[in-house]
Amino acid sequence: MCGIFAVHHHPDVVGFKPKALQLAKLIRHRGPDWSGNFVKNNTLIAHERLSIVGLDSGAQPLVNDDETLVLGVNGEIYNHRIIRKEFESEYNFKTQSDCEVIIPLYSKYGLDAPNHLDGMFAFVLYDAVKDRTIAARDPIGVTSLYMGRSSGTPGAVYFASEMKSLVEICDDIISFPPGHIYDSQTDKITRYFNPSWWDGERVPSTPVNYKQIRETLESAVRKRLMSEVPYGVLLSGGLDSSLIASIAARETKKAQNPADQSPDHLSGVDDAGHLSGATSWPKLHSYAVGLPGAPDLVAAQKVAKFIGTVHHEHTFTLQEGLDALSDVIYHLETFDVTTIRASTPMYLLSRKIKAQGVKMVLSGEGSDEIFGGYLYFGQAPSKEAFHSETVQRVKNLNLADCLRANKSTMAWGLEARVPFLDKSFLELVLNIDPKEKLITKERIEKYILRRAFDTSFDNGQAGTEPYLPHEILWRQKEQFSDGVGYSWIDVLKDTAEKLVSDEELANPKPEWGDDVPTTKEAYWYRCLFDEHFPTQTCADTVMRWIPKSDWGCAEDPSGRFVKSHLSAV
């Protein structure tokens, strides 16, 4: 990951450059390793680099030989070696950066270039010959991107990895939609990502294939181990992070024995042209966070011992969490209660991880959305409604869990990769008949995922060593903000009760319009957000979680308030 700031068609781009570099500096936490910029005609692209692939030669912005194409990218392109092979005879690659492949892709495919990428990304590319700027964001929005305009510079369009770089200069800001591309020639944003599952009203009927689920997720993890720097796994002890950690541990173990790998495998592409892992495989480390004695810490220790990682357990105090809240909201750029609750421990953990010299981690976001794993899904009235809700949750990930995973970690220059949101895995799972995913008395949430990795069903076949302890594989869903310790949520509520009066809650600020907080905790977060981002255009980029009350979803997003939770009373 990195940070980008760009402006297209600025009326005085040379005079604006010093201010542009100041605005880019606001997101230097995303890319502390190097800064670069490029000005061409009236367009500027600035870049703050976090070096993970192409360490010695991947500084940005990237340019072609005659400097007619200029590119700034925030992200990772997992199939870059396959693309390089396609263009090696017709394009002169100047770096080993995985992102440089976007330039020849644009030259050949134009606006369809993003469809050829497998990865997480946000990029701005300037075509000097056509005086054209295009900008695109990855299909699900794992990587953040904002777009803005200013009444003071009509015709100029601004882009930044985080909203904070646009607040001072733009009076119109949007969160750039995932799976879309902007073209300055038409001044329009259009959707390039059109998967078969996008229409949530089309109910799929494909039978479940457990082997395919397992193999596709393993492939998704494998390709995300592409790295030239130390990496690790976030391990909460829940199903999702534990599965990712287990697969990563297996792949790391395989790669530590070069005799078992073909030369092509080690270069990142196997003999069949399939994606493979990294050229550098440090010993796998796992990281967990929680309050002392938290249920997640206990479960994470059990998993780490079982899969053989070097495990690091970090605790935080309630006061440390409270002290970090304002900074967390500044980095997240949201006032959503669910996101802030879960992001604070992740934010604190990310600082500890970065201090140990790690730049990249794998994380388990996305599983609950695609499998319908949240406990309230147990109240879905039909398989059709269940499926529609999963698709909608995936579409909103860029404003929720992806936002949390990206910004909580990148606040400290740590990159989070999310295998569950791999395009191939999404295509597979979101086309499974939703009746297979329904939560019933006989089937726990995410049953088909658990079943796919339960090797006791493999009938003694070779290679069926268990992925996880049985009690972890079949552990009930525990939301991250709960798993770090229930007292974390309790202290947030108690503190909000002291800081926000009944009168204030009953009389919200007029400028909030219809987006009115319904709890004191939500009111408190909105006030903290306004301190950092006081304009309404900033607030308009935020999506707040709204409970599905008709599915028995409690007003409070904590999973323990759902009837089916084991601790519910």
Q: Which residue carries 């791999």 as its tokens?
A: 422
Could you tell me which residues are beta bridge partners of residue 275? 269
Q: Is 182 helix (H, G, I), strand (E, B) or coil?
A: strand
Residue 225 backbone zone (phi > 0: left; psi -120 to 50: alpha; other: beta): alpha
- In angstroms, rounded to a whole number, what is the distance separating the alpha carbons of residues 326 and 331? 9
The 8-class DSSP code of residue 260 comes to G
User: Out of 2, 99, 170, 402, which one is annotated catalytic?
Assistant: 2
Which tokens go with 39? Answer: 């000005």
* Beta pairing, strands 119-127 & 285-290: unpaired
Pseudo-torsion of CA 168, 172, 178, 181, nearest 10°? -100
Whether the link from the prior residue into 61 is cis, omega within 30° of 0, is yes
Q: Mutual orientation of helices 210-223 and 239-255 as an angle, nearest 10°?
A: 70
The 8-class DSSP code of residue 143 comes to S
Q: Mutual orientation of helices 520-532 and 486-499 as an angle, nearest 10°?
A: 80
2 labelled catalytic: yes
Q: Which residue carries 């390793």 as its tokens?
A: 33
Start-to-end CA distance of the chain, whole Å, equals 44
List C-alpha distances in Å: 3 to 47, 99, 182: 6, 14, 18
- In angstroms, rounded to a whole number, what is the distance separating the alpha carbons of residues 73 and 48? 10
Q: Which residue carries 């899904």 as its tokens?
A: 377
Which tokens go with 553? Answer: 């979803």
C-beta of residue 398 within 8 angstroms of C-beta of residue 140: yes
* Beta pairing, strands 231-234 & 285-290: parallel
Q: Which of 528, 38, 55 is nearest to 280 (CA)?
A: 55
Backbone angles phi, psi at 143, to 5 degrees: -95, 135
Catalytic residues: 2
